[in-house]
Structure 1
Amino acid sequence: MARHHLPIPDPTHVGLTTYDAKDPNTEYPPIQELRPPKGAPNVLIILLDDVGFGASSAFGGPCQMRVAERLAADGVKLNRFHTTALCSPTRQAMLTGRNHHSVGMGAITEMATSAPGNNSIRPKDKAPVAETLKLNGYSTAQFGKCHEVPVWEVSPVGPFHQWPTGSGFEYFYGFVGGEANQYYPGLYEGTTPVEPPKTPEEGYTLTDDLADRAITWVRQQQALLPDKPFFMYWAPGATHAPHHVPEQWSAKYRGKFDDGWDALRERIFSHQRKLGVVPEDAELTARHDEIPAWDDMPAALKPVLARQMEIYAGFLEQADHAAGRVIDAIADLGVLDNTLIYYIIGDNGASAEGTVNGCFNEMTTLNGMPGIETTEFLLSKIDDFGTAAAYNHYAVGWAHALCTPYQWTKQVASHWGGTRNGTIVHWPKGLPDKGTTRNQFHHVIDVVPTILAAAGVPAPHSVNGIAQAPLEGVSMLDTLRDAAAPETHQVQYFEMMGNRGIYFQGWTAVTKHRTPWKAETPPAFDDDVWELYGPDDWTQAHDLAAENPAKLAELQRLWLIEATKYNVVPLDDRGFERINPDIAGRPQLIKGNTQRLFSGMRVAEGCVLSLTNKSHAVTANIEVPASGANGVIVTQGGSAGGWALYAHEGRLKYCYNFFGIEYYPVTASTEIPAGRHQVRMEFAYEGGGLAKGGDVTLYYDGKPVGTGRVAQTQPMAFSADEACDVGRDTGSPASTDYGPTGNAFTGTIDWVQIDIGEDSHDHLVTPEDRFNIAMAKQ
């Protein structure tokens, strides 16, 4: 069967055509079901999130990962496997077998620009592996995180061609975006928003839910099509912040990190040498001045810091356990021996985005306001870390320790701390070695060529009528089958927001351009200081730039060649400018100053007009039953920050939730009468900068019924994953007046309208107004 052009053309019968099917000369070949070549393995990719090389016990770390250890004992451990230093780029590169700039993913989707290497648009000539495998006869499914959809396409109306089900996966259950609340995730099944099957009080966590769904899918697939191999991609979102995990997982780590991150680095490094994941002569790199020493941290803060790490360790162990449940289900079906498993422990290094103190609510950091969480506040919340009441992240020092023995962390693509991730490959039927390690250099773009080689499927010349560009990775099969195999991945560039490096035949030349947790303006690119590390320097501990300037110059030139080849240039280290779509040059889903929403809508924050740092109004046409009004009319965000307009005890009420630290309620003086009415909230922003306060006025049918004040506001975003809901609050509650369930509005909502800009003092929106606004937007 020719498999170079996909879909594989339908066979056409050429021969005798009889008049009567009963004619003994009537003969047609039987219908052949599409299957890959005989012996093609099942494929399971497990990709964890934000896990440093030194975190897992399988690679010498403090977080117990018994499933990873078990797979390593029966498979092959990769000690020099690399990612891109950030999530969206790693995922798109892994799924396509091409470098991240080649597939438009120079950074996360929220920072897309109009430049080809950064536009977040996957070129049609670089089809993802799921599409290739599906068109060769595999069943395909993805569970968990998808952070590859352009931000202007993340809505209930698509387009959906870069969603998982438009990228070769026949089934998808998970979330679309950078992170998810483990207790209140914004979930999709296919492209349809769905809600978790139970509440946190009933024991819900996202990681367990994703394992349940994967087990159900693979059991059904094997029950109905046991002769058809499957490709499953399981990416739980753990251990990206927020670090959420039930107490039973973190309790076992109580007191284990009280001596701090510097001592932890030493312990990890000692274990790594004993395990052989680093050579005996490897050196532990020095901690940079930007990363504080444990001894220099305030004594009063240390109990909180230790608790942060206990939570994280439990979170990672829970993720490993859930992965083990999926693997055990495959084993119970009797097909584990011929399942090629890639267990990639992190899509980049550990995250240093929690700042030097860590945080109880990560949204304070993402909004550029980490200082509002004082030591006293953090101490008051110590027992809530990891629970549904928190949205926590750990301190920079822990991230650095979990990248032991390397320099730096996530985002820093120049050094191994940002890009080297422990990986295990398990395939009993296909790999003769058990419990061995491999030291050859490899990169995440090598996964696709390896899968295709294992399946006996060629990289397609065309997919859906479009000629395909060559794969940019190399197959790892020779490496996996022979520890002495020559290294085949000879050269690899790295770049992330100006941090850049080049690997060539053991040598590395690198330059760190910016520090992840600092908002300072980075230097000019030509002022960056490059470092040079030799082939025998496993950890990049000794800079040879001054000793060997000729070699450094050679590698710098090679970096520029590779960068030009793969759309890395122009280099782009901008921050705010890339977040702002008007400057970045990417489309915006929502335009204008007015937006109407309807009952039952649940959309991401990016699907709604931005209300931050400006005056705005929220109006709703409702019908109140004779029994009175109660429940949510419209809300945005959740317990980590947001706002809600709702009826409480019969009265209209507005609540602004400032990071879960302060709640600013405003209540109407009278109940909403039964019948059809228009309710409205106006917020008059005081101006004078970001995150200021403002005055709130509530109206019934254009008449003021209540006033109040919001003292301070969130300047950039309410949430990373909570929705804007009309008619109820589907995630964590934005107000303490109602819970996560049973909060639906008791009446009927015709529409909700959001207006931004200066107050027009026209407190009643008429149908004529709505028509004029609509016509003005044509």
Structure 2
Amino acid sequence: MSGQTDIQRSILPIPDRRSTIVTTFDAKDPDTAFPPITPLRPPAGAPNVLVILLDDVGFGASSAFGGPIAMPNAERLAKTGLRYTRFHTTAMCSPTRAALLSGRNHQTVGMGGITEMATSSPAATSIRPNTCAPLAEILKLNGYSTAQFGKCHEVPVWETGPTGPFDHWPAPGGGFEYFYGFLGAETNQYYPAIYENTVPIEPERTPEEGYHFMEDMTDKAIGWIQTEKAMTPDKPFFVYFAPGATHAPHHVPKEWADKYKGAFDDGWDALRERTFAKQKDMGIVPEGTDLAARDAVMPAWDDMPEELLPVLRRQMEVYAGYLEYADHYVGQVLDTLEQLDILDDTLIYYIIGDNGASPEGTLQGTFSELISINYRGDIETPEFLASKIDDLGGPDAYNHYALGWAHAMCTPLQWTKQIASHWGGTRNATIMHWPTRIAPETSTPGGGIREQFTHVIDVAATVLDAAGIPEPSTVNGITQEPLHGISMLYTIDDADAAEQHHTQYFELLGNRGIYHKGWSAVTIHRYPGLPGITQMTQGFDEDRWELYDGSTDWSQAHDVAADHPDKLAELQRLFLLQADRYGVFPLDDRKAERLNATIAGRPELIRGTSQTLFPSMRRLAENTVLNIKNRSYSVTSEIAIPEEGVAGTIVAQGGRFGGWALYAVDNVLSYCYNTLGVDWYTTRATSPLPAGTHQVRAEFAYDGGGLGKGGGVTLFVDGTPVGSGRVEQTHPFIFSGDETTDVGAETATTVSGDYDARDSRFTGRIAWVRLDAGDDSHDHLIDPEYVYHVALRRQ
């Protein structure tokens, strides 16, 4: 691949060089000559770069690393690439993604937690400082084409509305020239909340027509790559391919889940044993490694109720199908690179998980995350779950598997996602593939294994090293913080090369750890926020530290703190030094306070008790709309009705798994409150709407007496009551993780079953819609601990 090696690249953008010597008067003069225009390109030999980042996949899931789930395309890359068995993330999605794309530790770039929990502390603002230019920006300013597909979850929540600003969106602010994906932690894979750059768009097909976001984003990525290589074949690309898989909801076509029928019938404890044996046989874990014990707060398979077992088994079958399905589409991207004859010239990272497997599906799993998040676990009895078993994985479910399966997916390690102290939360199977640089003799016939300690912050340094691009000293006039990672290229030629990433701290939600030259000292401050798990309540100084000797204990199975108190004290001091260096302090284990924008010190997009919306406003995320939960409220709109009558949505918030809508059916004003996708409460007017311009209103009078209570509904036309009804129970916490508020038509799924999204466009005219919240809020009754649980289970 051609490139330019005679220009300085330490100051970005690269200053333009303009010839200022003019020796002729007439351009027709034979002596008239200027250097030809040369498009900017990276240095010669710079590879294409493809970074694949899956979501919520534990170390022990993939068949390429001894796991039970077939990932033939991961194996395909591993056979001629390198498998890294000690690659680490941060234990949670937003921090891992921010670290990956910046090459700096997550607190340094303001992502000490998820965006929804941002505070004014520099470690947790969710705002990447301009002293830490992202990898995509550095590559773009050196002549790369850049594109991101799939999940983001890095945009500050107050900037996710249609007015931006867009400085922290993938495109344009994150350095990507093109973005196709979703902004939040998760999305419905059948009805996703997609943005193309900064514009919300809707899928062209329905689930019944075969739509799934995994296929869609893959098609978009393939099309983008093909176009880039057709138009500018000499220009390398950087593609960041980040599916929602396998974050909940675990959505996958039934035939993929059915491939695993019966595979997990003996439960998660037996699965851990089988996986561990396979990992040892494959050399993924070294001889002498022990299987780390299951923590006492996690249930054993034998302790689960017999009537629940069929549902638990199906949960894991669906998850396994989902992961293999995602790998299948990764394979289609690889096929495209092969067909374009650029696979060998492409540096590929296949990072199988942005943290450990997710424990957020509760101790028994859930048919719909929204049920458990809204603290209505009482609905999901064994009988209820059994009645929904055939829906799991399909568009009528929003399912997540049980904690026990998540722990099994992290075999042979302790703990899961959220737990940054232990390897189960942070160690992720990773493959590097680059045939131009990775010679066959550097690996065994089944692929090379590399055991050096590595971390997600090493990816940016590796990519720049591979491209021959120096770290810039300034970007857009701003002096840059040096990269924190170490290039991994030194591991390619020598499997036994001494590791160069000697020290790495870990911190998230108060859980802390430090790795240094083979040793790790860790302390768990908080368990995952789940119903049924009693939280620890000690202060930071009371946390109990553990010590592990990595030279003899690969899996952190044997705490040797009592045997080596001096070594433990040495590492504890080192943690303090590293935490201070990278801006971790102050440690923050506050709960509801971090969800209150005023206390946390972050901007809030919506203030007051009233909000006016207009017909062009669609895809408004829940945190950009007035909160009307746990109180009385009214929804008022001025509409124009033609002589033939109207139908369609005036305004709606949420969708199939919960929300409310004001709409018309056959010219009759209607209001529907959908409680958790389980109960629908519909109120209709007793007479049709008259033609002309009118003001319609739905008033909800909250019963009070606690959270999520019911209330009475009254419909009005021009101030005159025209219908009444009742809602027996409401959502106390959230309507959805990705469904939105829409005026004039519904996107994705619909709140009411009276119509679908394609039939939801209002056939009259809407001048405005106003939401007004009452002064009877019961939010002061919310348990701070549970508010914290809600936030964590939305990431």
- Please give the TM-score of this superposition, normalised by the length of structure 1: 0.97
Alignment match, 1:587: 603
Question: How far does the alpha carbon of each residue in 1:106-150 deviate from its partner, in whole angstroms, 9 at most, with x for none?
Answer: 010000000000110100000000000000000000000011100
Alignment match, 1:86: 92
Alignment match, 1:424: 431
What are the within-5 Å matches in structure 2 for residues 34-183 of structure 1?
Answer: 34-165=40-171, 166-183=173-190
Q: Distance in 2 between matches of 1:354 and 1:507?
A: 32
Give the alignment's Cα RMSD to 1 decimal.
Answer: 1.1
Give the 3-state SS of the residue equivalent to 1:336 in structure 2. Answer: coil
Q: Paired residue for 2:538, among 523, 526, 532?
A: 523
8 Å CA contact 2:360, 2:530 repeated in 1: no
8 Å CA contact 1:684, 1:759 repeated in 2: no
Aligned AA (1:438)? R
Aligned AA (1:734)? V
**Shift of the alpha carbon at 1:689?**
2.0
1:224 paired to 2:235: no
Aligned AA (1:513)? H
Q: Distance in 2 between matches of 1:107 and 1:143?
A: 22
Aligned AA (1:334)? D
What are the within-5 Å matches in structure 2 for residues 438-449 of structure 1?
Answer: 438-449=450-461
Aligned AA (1:498)? G
1:716 paired to 2:716: no
Alignment match, 1:774: none
Q: Paired residue for 1:376, among 365, 379, 383?
A: 383
**Shift of the alpha carbon at 1:759?**
8.6
Q: Distance in 2 between matches of 1:457 and 1:371?
A: 57
Give the 3-state SS of the residue equivalent to 2:269 in structure 1. Answer: helix
Alignment match, 1:274: 281
Aligned AA (2:472)? P
Question: How far does the alpha carbon of each residue in 1:656-696 deviate from its partner, in whole angstroms, 9 at most, with x for none?
Answer: 11111111111111111111111101111122221111111
1:567 paired to 2:583: yes
Question: How far does the alpha carbon of each residue in 1:595-616 deviate from its partner, in whole angstroms, 9 at most, with x for none?
Answer: 1111131111111001111111
8 Å CA contact 1:99, 1:566 repeated in 2: yes
Give the 3-state SS of the residue equivalent to 2:758 in structure 1. Answer: coil
Give the 3-state SS of the residue equivalent to 2:759 in structure 1. Answer: coil
Q: Paired residue for 1:200, among 203, 207, 232?
A: 207
**Shift of the alpha carbon at 1:640?**
1.2
8 Å CA contact 2:527, 2:536 repeated in 1: no
- Stretches of structure 1 lacking an aligned partner (at least 5 in a row): 761-778
Distance change >3 Å, CA 224–CA 413, structure 1 → 2:
same
8 Å CA contact 1:291, 1:396 repeated in 2: yes
Alignment match, 2:250: 243
Q: Distance in 2 between matches of 1:734 and 1:709?
A: 16
Q: Distance in 2 between matches of 1:256 and 1:123?
A: 47
Q: Distance in 2 between matches of 1:368 and 1:123?
A: 37
Alignment match, 2:300: 293
Alignment match, 2:469: 457
Alignment match, 1:643: 660
Q: Distance in 1 between matches of 2:608 and 2:23?
A: 63
**Shift of the alpha carbon at 1:484?**
1.6
Q: Distance in 2 between matches of 1:191 and 1:568?
A: 32
Question: How far does the alpha carbon of each residue in 1:70-125 deviate from its partner, in whole angstroms, 9 at most, with x for none?
Answer: 00001000000000000000000000000000000001000000000011010000
1:341 paired to 2:348: yes
Give the 3-state SS of the residue equivalent to 2:457 in structure 1. Answer: helix
1:604 paired to 2:621: yes
Q: Distance in 1 between matches of 2:611 and 2:212?
A: 34
Q: Distance in 1 between matches of 2:602 and 2:493?
A: 45
Moved more, 517-526 or 356-365: 517-526
Q: Distance in 1 between matches of 2:84 and 2:389?
A: 37
Give the 3-state SS of the residue equivalent to 1:721 in structure 2. Answer: coil
Q: Distance in 1 between matches of 2:193 and 2:89?
A: 27
Moved more, 427-436 or 283-292: 427-436
**Shift of the alpha carbon at 1:746?**
1.3
Alignment match, 2:572: 556
What are the within-5 Å matches in structure 2 for residues 297-376 of structure 1?
Answer: 297-376=304-383
Distance change >3 Å, CA 225–CA 513, structure 1 → 2:
same
- Please give the TM-score of this superposition, normalised by the length of structure 2: 0.95
8 Å CA contact 2:652, 2:751 repeated in 1: yes
Question: How far does the alpha carbon of each residue in 1:556-578 deviate from its partner, in whole angstroms, 9 at most, with x for none?
Answer: 11111111111111111122211
What are the within-5 Å matches in structure 2 for residues 670-749 of structure 1?
Answer: 670-749=687-766
**Shift of the alpha carbon at 1:61?**
0.9
Give the 3-state SS of the residue equivalent to 2:259 in structure 1. Answer: helix
Question: How far does the alpha carbon of each residue in 1:1-24 deviate from its partner, in whole angstroms, 9 at most, with x for none?
Answer: 000000101012132342110112
Alignment match, 1:2: 8
Q: Distance in 2 between matches of 1:7 and 1:352?
A: 43
Question: How far does the alpha carbon of each residue in 1:138-182 deviate from its partner, in whole angstroms, 9 at most, with x for none?
Answer: 000000001110000001110001101111100000000100100
Moved more, 713-722 or 476-485: 476-485
Alignment match, 2:561: 545
8 Å CA contact 2:58, 2:409 repeated in 1: yes
Aligned AA (1:666)? T
Question: How far does the alpha carbon of each residue in 1:327-372 deviate from its partner, in whole angstroms, 9 at most, with x for none?
Answer: 1111111111010000000000000001101100101222233332
Q: Distance in 2 between matches of 1:366 and 1:561?
A: 38
8 Å CA contact 2:64, 2:75 repeated in 1: yes
Give the 3-state SS of the residue equivalent to 2:50 in structure 1. Answer: strand
Alignment match, 2:792: none
Q: Distance in 2 between matches of 1:609 and 1:214?
A: 36
Aligned AA (1:453)? D
Q: Distance in 1 between matches of 2:370 and 2:241?
A: 26
Report how many aligned residue pairs link the two structures. Answer: 760
**Shift of the alpha carbon at 1:481?**
2.7
8 Å CA contact 2:143, 2:235 repeated in 1: yes
Q: Distance in 2 between matches of 1:170 and 1:87?
A: 23
**Shift of the alpha carbon at 1:287?**
0.8
**Shift of the alpha carbon at 1:451?**
0.1
**Shift of the alpha carbon at 1:239?**
0.4
8 Å CA contact 1:293, 1:397 repeated in 2: yes
Question: How far does the alpha carbon of each residue in 1:598-635 deviate from its partner, in whole angstroms, 9 at most, with x for none?
Answer: 11311111110011111111111111122212111111
8 Å CA contact 2:745, 2:757 repeated in 1: no
8 Å CA contact 2:458, 2:485 repeated in 1: yes
Question: How far does the alpha carbon of each residue in 1:16-51 deviate from its partner, in whole angstroms, 9 at most, with x for none?
Answer: 342110112211111111000011000000000000
**Shift of the alpha carbon at 1:748?**
0.9
**Shift of the alpha carbon at 1:458?**
0.3
Q: Distance in 2 between matches of 1:17 and 1:183?
A: 65
**Shift of the alpha carbon at 1:521?**
5.8
Aligned AA (1:183)? Y
8 Å CA contact 1:354, 1:517 repeated in 2: no
Distance change >3 Å, CA 554–CA 81, structure 1 → 2:
same
Q: Distance in 2 between matches of 1:184 and 1:22?
A: 61
Q: Distance in 2 between matches of 1:471 and 1:429?
A: 25
Give the 3-state SS of the residue equivalent to 1:613 in structure 2. Answer: coil
Give the 3-state SS of the residue equivalent to 2:240 in structure 1. Answer: strand
Aligned AA (2:179)? F
Moved more, 212-221 or 681-690: 681-690
Alignment match, 1:185: 192
1:652 paired to 2:669: yes
8 Å CA contact 2:154, 2:168 repeated in 1: yes
